[in-house]
Amino acid sequence: MTVLKDLPEKWFPVVLPLQRRKQKGLNGAKSQKKRTEEERRVRANDREYNEKFQYASNCIMTSKYNIITFLPVNLFEQFQEVANTYFLFLLILQLIPQISSLSWFTTIVPLALVLSITAVKDATDDYFRHKSDNQVNNRQSQVLIRGSLQNEKWMNVRVGDIIKLENNQFVAADLLLLSSSEPHGLCYIETAELDGETNMKVRQSVSVTSELGDQNNLASFDGEVVCEPPNNKLDRFCGTLYWRDKKYNLTNQNMLLRGCVLRNTEACYGLVIFAGPDTKLMQNSGRTKFKRTSIDRLMNTLVLWIFGFLVCMGVILAVGNAVWEREVGSLFQSYLPWDPPVDNFLFSAFLSFWSYVIILNTVVPISLYVSVEVIRLGHSYFINWDQQMFCSQCNTAAEARTTTLNEELGQVEYIFSDKTGTLTQNIMSFNKCSINGQTYGEATDPLAPQPTRLDFTPFNPLADQNFYFYDDTLLESVKVGDSHTHEFFRLLSLCHTVMSEEKSEGELVYKAQSPDEGALVTAARNFGFVFRSRTPGTITTTEMGRPVTYTLLAILDFNNIRKRMSVIVRNPEGRIRLYCKGADTVLLERLHPCNQELMNITSDHLNEYAADGLRTLALAYRDVSEDEWETWSESHRCADKATNCRDDRLAAAYEEIEQDMMLLGATAIEDKLQEGVPETIAVLSLANIKIWVLTGDKQETAVNIGYSCKMLTDDMTEVFIISGHTVQSVRQELRRARDRMIVLSRSRDGEKEEGMEGWAEAGFMGNGFREGQEGDGTAAAAATAGGKQLQCPPPPPPPSNNLMDNISGEFALVINGHSLAHALEADMETEFVSTACACKAVICCRVTPLQKAQVVELIKKHKKAVTLAIGDGANDVSMIKSAHIGVGISGQEGIQAVLASDYSFAQFRFLQRLLLVHGRWSYLRMCRFLCYFFYKNFAFTMVHFWFGFFCGFSAQTVYDQYFITLYNIVYTSLPVLAMGIFDQDVPDKRSLEYPKLYEPGQLNLLFNKREFFICIAQGIYTSVVLFFVPFAVLSDATQSTGVPLADYQTFAVTTATALVIVVSVQIALDTGFWTVINHVFVWGSLGSYFTIMFALHSQTLFRIFPNQFHFVGSAQSTLLQPVVWLTIALATAICIVPVLAFRFLKVDLKPQLSDTVRYTQLVRQKKRKPIGRSVGGAWRGAGSASEGRLGARGGSRRSGYAFAHQEGFGELITSGKNMRLSSLALATFASRHSSSWIDTLRRKKHTHTHTPPSASGECSPAPSCISGSVPPLSNSSSVLGGSQDTPIEEETGTPPAQNGQSDLASSTQTQPASEAAAPQASSQAVTLTAGRTHVGDSPGGWAATLGSVQEALFGWKSRAAASNSPGPPSVAKDTSQIV
């Protein structure tokens, strides 16, 4: 390989980070070459030359197996499971006749079944991966070979080939654009598969190759490209083209990347630079990781523990065998000698140890793993069949693409979401505007009927029929010829980089580089200023029906630093004018001083628009004289041709002329959210799930969407922005944010001393944003909190993680991409994680696909929490693969995210149901299944252990061997499967209504090591009862004929029957939701036991197989004895009654939230009549997205500027080349603090003081799912079990007092005298008439009194009774109150 002696310095930022990321293992699909590639040399049309470097082919492979490797590799993977290795070991032991008490088929059949089922599933998954790979690799591409175009499969394309692309075709590899059918070598691409953006982007070929449109010319092209090695930088490319003794610089603007789609371009030709796994798309795809749930990992640990327990039991019994054989067995040697090769008691003990290992192995039967897979498969089908997750618009159902992660859906703590296409529709609409101090687009009378949509057709035949606007005063202003209005829309029709395509007369199609520009140009079009076409030097418009052509003198391009763009045009009269649009923060300071009054008015309008979550731009213009233009044009030309510091010189030239402008007004654009996004985020937040948005958009756009979807709210204590450009500044900003959180948290909790009310970092405004921030962390200004000037004590020492975990208050963090790059460095990880994880919401802007994956990996590494990533584009694939659970949205950005995901559906709002219903149910079912499974098997197996002390430790089994074989396969398998598949504690509506029900899964409360030992203890207790009760009773019992019952077979039948009955009753108690299938399986299994037992003990089978069936007649003779049935009944009672008593006391004294919700469900079913007047869904109206934006962020004076634009398109052209919902709704939903037992466990606070009434556990209902009246509960009773003494009683009943506490508050229908009685009986009782009426399960209005249970269930902080006020109780924003 040819290597440059000196690696170009400009490649260092690309190559060095690439090497670091490769070391971290996050570089995605890798080249097959083992050497390190330092540069790439590619010669056009010379395969022989290029093959010397052994570049990767264009064939991609995401599958794991082939026909030859499948069996060995798959078996190797399966035997990495501890359980499979364990059962293989047992099988080998059972093949040794000297130690085997059971037949070998009892293990090999289920083991082979498990391995086969898993292998079939893995083969099926890999088959679909092969199918997907073949579909891509076999796509056809036109390759220029020996002067003619030939069809080749993508997999056969090689580096150095020249290929032809036609309109709407996918780009096959990373290409250098050589020529195009469009003028000046331009072509248009869509990069949704790469960066998630659906807007058009422009690429241009190098000028020297743009004329090579003829095949003969391209066939003779022998240019050589020297460029950077393969990397994952989507927005950067550095290279040089050497041709005809000249060299030409290559940039990303000359490249077409794999995954892009050619649009609005008839054809183009490109030179393959990177192919297959070397392409930037594959470099960003991330590694396919084997995902396992936390329960799987715990089960592996438990299997090891159980194996250790099994060894201990085997050792104990082996020692017993040695002692017995030495002390007692030696007396029988004359007529009962040892079987060869046993010749002493020690060897007998050794063999006895292995015999007992085989007999006791059923503590973990292999049927456990079969059952787990069946249950997971059932849960996956429930997700696939859920009609409420079916999108009728796109005819797409939810799909569980894996069956191994269902229960982990119920344990998610962090959600990482893409923005564009995931939270938003990426559809912009012109919503409002301000022109010369007059605002348009507002509803003039909120009480008036919905205004009608304006019809522009009579006024303008070129109007877009899909444009919606409702304020007719703006149209009238245009019609009467208002000069300011005309100039406003003239600016919108000229100042842009939109390309126009006129398919027929008057049928215009705009191709905008950003959806913002498309919306603005479309608005100008409808109001009479129609952009028609452009050339490199002209712009043609139709103004009020009159065609006008402007000379385009210059485009002052947009970039992220300037935050504005301008055009300089000459009108037909010869007057030169500059038009500018951009962020108000940068544009208003460049206005002429005479604009002060208008600027103040427009600023107020901008703040109103930004408060509504809209994306705003300010518009201005200035006249330019001929002399000034000539002077500036010359300086601009010199800056443009500069070889050093070109960008800085251009920026200085732009700055020079963009001064003393005249303000025209401002625009407000709405980026429409997907349906139900605000409600979904609100509900998930109430479930204690933290949501992080990782987006490639810039800060202003992301923050706007954050407010629109209610991730960010005015009720938040603080919103921090991290934008440092150096490691040190980022570290300082993170530490200041942490210190600020601690100070505010102490102030909020009332724990701060007088005079220590907090200190603030420079420039924090009312909602936490800083003005004039440059990102160096050195700005200093005063901040206010509660209207008081904050003191500034010395910064406290860095807080511990435990302290950060106990932060109270709602904080949010916004961090930019360049700051995030520093935050992700090894020595900064802890700083970033501790700060970000203390926040309720985090927004990361300008992040690359790989940074998304790194953020996910960071949380997985430091927080040990279950993560979920959701996205809809190929740029989200690495993030989806890195998270524990990946969710793909089948949207407008292709199917790459769906193919890489574990679950997929059509809209973000379905995530709420996936987690809170299916995820919670799956976790609950799996935990109940495992608890019962371990219980029943320990109860079954430990009887052998006790029997060993009475059979001379001879490894004799208690039961018939057929009972041992069928116990886990027939007698007890189906009932537990039914419970594991169908069980539920509360209905799906209640799961959505009470998000706090989700928290036990996050804390892993339902199945952990503690719960495991409880199940084991119960199983051992049951085994003791099942052995010693029949043993004690039958030892002295006789039949009616006087024949003793103390024989082995009678004892075996009695114990087995009692065991089956006890475990059947136990699962009946464990089942919370009965279906027909549950009844059939539970009682059917019990019936099958008796049927099979009578058959196996029959004379018929004994006659046929006399050596196999030794229990002939035992069942019939045993079960005819009344004493046997009394023994079975006694054993059952002793096993079950303590369980019933414990559960009754637990529900009565310390109920969990699910117990309370079930009780309310019973009350609702009994009482169907309303208990108060309905107000027709007042609450639902307040929280519905369809009602629009209800309220503004008072005092949030921030820029709402957002412009999804990129730099470089102005130069190409001239060279020829928020809906926001009410924050009150969220405040009403939100549960700020909770001292419930769940939160106590979460924060690890151990306190023995009585929980105050206002600190009751809270659970807020879903914003759009609140239904039904809730019975009041005394405040002394915490529904989450913290200090709960009484269960919920019916609304209108007279509840009994418990533990000295007062009666519950009566309902609204009770007379005022009785209403006043409750506070007198209990000083802790707080009543609030703000309940919901309920007729059946339909939504109603507000009625009925709510006690502290409403505070606990819904998160409403009641202050006083409000019996006549419909709607949700008001929530006072009091950050200093002790909660």
DSSP at 511: E
Instruction: Report how far apart the first and last C-alpha atoms of the chain are (Å, whole number).
Output: 69
Q: Which of 174, 418, 985, 1303 is catalytic?
A: 418
- As a whole number of angstroms, the distance between CA 685 and CA 688 comes to 5
Q: Is 1068 helix (H, G, I), strand (E, B) or coil?
A: helix
3-class SS at 175?
strand
- Residue 1341's alpha-carbon distances to 1158, 1170, 1268, 1360, 1368, in angstroms, are 22, 10, 9, 19, 10
CA atoms of 1325 and 1346, how far apart (whole Å): 10
3-state SS record for 1242-1256: HHCCCCCCCCCHHHC
SS3 per residue for 564-629: EEEEEEECCCCCEEEEEEECHHHHHHHECHHHHHHHHHHHHHHHHHHHCCCEEEEEEEEEECHHHH
Q: Please give the helix or strand (H or E) that residue 526 lies within, else none.
A: helix 515-526
> Do residues 838 and 806 lie in contact, with contact meaning Cβ atoms separated by under 8 Å?
no
Residue count of the chain: 1379
What CA–CA distances, in Å, run from 786 to 248, 558, 779, 789, 1359? 61, 40, 22, 9, 20
- Which run of H or E residues covers position 871? strand 866-871
CB-based contacts of 1228: which residues, under 8 Å, 6+ apart?
A: 1356, 1368, 1369, 1371
According to DSSP, the residues that pair with 869 across neighbouring strands are 416, 886
Residue among 109, 90, 108, 110 nearest 100 (CA): 90
Q: Give the start-end residues of each E strand in 364-489.
A: 399-400, 412-417, 424-435, 438-440
Secondary structure (DSSP) of 762-794: TTB-TTS-BSS--SSS------EETTEEPP-PP
Strands 903-905 and 399-400: antiparallel
CA dist 688 and 1257 (Å) reads 13
Distances (CA, A) of 272 to 251, 279, 658, 1228, 1238: 15, 10, 42, 58, 58
Q: Residue 544 burial by CB count (10 A; 0-12/13-18/19+): exposed, middle or buried? A: middle
Distance CA 853, CA 856 (A): 5
What residues have CB less than 8 Å from 125, skipping those under 6 apart?
A: none
Report the C-alpha dihedral over residues 327, 329, 334, 337, rounded to 10 degrees.
-140
Q: Which amino acid is at 1342?
A: W
Burial pattern 1033-1056, b for ≥16 Cβ within 10 A else e, equals bbeebebeeeeebeeebbbbbbbb
In whole angstroms, what is the distance from residue 904 CA to residue 888 CA? Answer: 5
C-alpha span between 1105 and 962 (Å, rounded): 14
214 is catalytic: no
Query: What Rg, from alpha-carbon coordinates, does the chain have?
Result: 37
Task: Name the one residue in this structure whose structure tokens are 């149209």.
Answer: 475
The full 3-state SS of 1122-1171, as one line of letters, equals HHHHHHHHHHHHHHHHHHHHHHHHHHHHCCCHHHHHHHHHHHHHHCCCCC
Helix axes 1122-1149, 1048-1070, angle to 10 degrees: 30
State the number of CA atoms in the 13 A half-sphere of 630 facing the CB.
2
- Name the residues annotated as catalytic: 418
